[in-house]
């Protein structure tokens, strides 16, 4: 039985981000009313200041906070950027949410990081939400600091929140200037014959979540409003070498690989447990990696 229309008024910060470009149309298709906010106003995006000056929170059921200025690589290149931009913005948003007359009805959803906050997984032990976090890069440290702020505001002010530790969504276009997400860049390398750079020997493992599974999970989270922290992931990990082999098999082309030194801050073994989210919402991922790569390659062919 299909769910009824998602009758929610949703605010989406970070409206120009790669994930927002997937989330926005998916939630509209589900029946939600979505208002996109960005630091740079224009087109379908309102300026982020509208969140504070036009009482938008008072007219909102769900606030999805995606606004974030770094990815793991840029976080290492610009150490501390999150503490001058993203953490102050988060505090401002939390203060506005907690001061709103709508606070008791509002659901605050924060987009954290599945791999980086945990650090390297223990052998054969998928990281679950109750495990200690040991981030090894600045990006993971910043996301974990943000999580703790949200928990504190939630406890002190009764703000309903859900923190999503998301793995690696894929299967949708990403900006070429943002060095995050290996699958679209592998597909481009295979199609164009351009070299693909691998950090280390390719044995690093990541959890890859197809974007349709990701948006289906988010829709369930918005409907159910589960409190606390949840891994949003496929629940299985693949090495970089495995992903390269899948792309080569799918396209029938060899990928020229250039191997460089591994980065000390890059998580080598990311393995995540999704059982808590499944139990709370009934959601399950359905797109396995080979099928997801096939779909992504087909989308590129028809672009």
Query: Residue 176: how many CB atoms within 10 A of its CB?
Result: 9
Q: Are the C-beta atoms of 73 and 136 separated by less than 8 Å? A: no
Which ranges of 166-288 would DSSP assign to H, the alpha helix? 182-192, 211-224, 240-251, 275-281
What's the pLDDT at 302?
A: 58
Domains of the chain: 9-173+208-236+270-287 (3.40.50.720)
3-state helix/strand/coil string of 53-108: HCCHHHHCCEEEECCCCCCHHHHHHCCCHHHHCHHHHHHHHHHHHHHCCCCCCCEE
Q: pLDDT in tens for each of the 303 residues of the chain?
A: 578 999 999 999 999 999 999 999 999 999 999 999 998 888 899 999 999 887 799 989 999 999 999 999 999 999 999 999 999 999 999 999 999 999 999 999 999 999 899 999 988 899 999 999 999 999 999 999 999 999 999 999 999 999 999 999 999 877 655 556 789 989 989 988 899 999 899 999 999 999 999 999 999 999 999 999 999 999 999 999 999 999 999 999 999 999 989 999 999 999 999 999 999 999 999 999 999 999 999 887 655
């Amino acid at each position: 039985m299909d769910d009824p229309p998602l009758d929610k008024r949703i605010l989406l910060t970070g409206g120009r981000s790669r994930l927002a470009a997937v989330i926005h149309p998916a939630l509209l298709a589900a029946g939600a009313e979505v208002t996109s906010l960005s630091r740079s106003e224009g087109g379908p995006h309102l300026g982020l200041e509208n969140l504070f000056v036009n009482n938008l929170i008072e007219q909102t059921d769900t606030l999805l906070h995606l606004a974030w200025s770094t990815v793991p690589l840029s976080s290492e290149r610009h150490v501390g950027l999150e503490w001058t931009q993203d953490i102050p913005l988060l505090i401002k948003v939390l203060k506005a949410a907690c001061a709103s007359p709508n606070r008791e009805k509002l659901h605050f959803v924060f987009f954290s990081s599945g791999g980086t906050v945990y650090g390297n997984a223990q052998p054969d032990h998928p990281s679950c939400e109750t495990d200690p976090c040991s981030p090894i890069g600045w990006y993971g440290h910043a996301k974990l600091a943000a999580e703790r702020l949200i928990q504190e505001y939630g406890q002190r002010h009764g703000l309903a929140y859900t923190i999503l530790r998301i793995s690696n969504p894929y299967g949708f276009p990403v900006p070429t200037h943002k060095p995050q997400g290996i699958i679209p860049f592998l597909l481009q390398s295979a199609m164009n014959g351009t070299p693909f750079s691998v950090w280390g020997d390719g044995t690093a493992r990541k959890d890859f979540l197809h974007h349709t599974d990701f948006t289906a999970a988010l829709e369930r989270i918005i409907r159910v409003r589960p409190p606390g922290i949840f891994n949003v992931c496929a629940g299985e990990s693949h090495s970089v070498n495995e992903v390269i082999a899948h792309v080569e098999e799918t396209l029938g082309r060899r990928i020229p690989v250039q191997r460089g030194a591994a980065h000390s801050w890059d998580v080598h073994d990311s393995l995540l447990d999704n059982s808590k989210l499944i139990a709370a919402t009934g959601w399950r991922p359905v797109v396995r990696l080979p099928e997801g790569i096939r779909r992504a390659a087909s989308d590129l062919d028809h672009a």
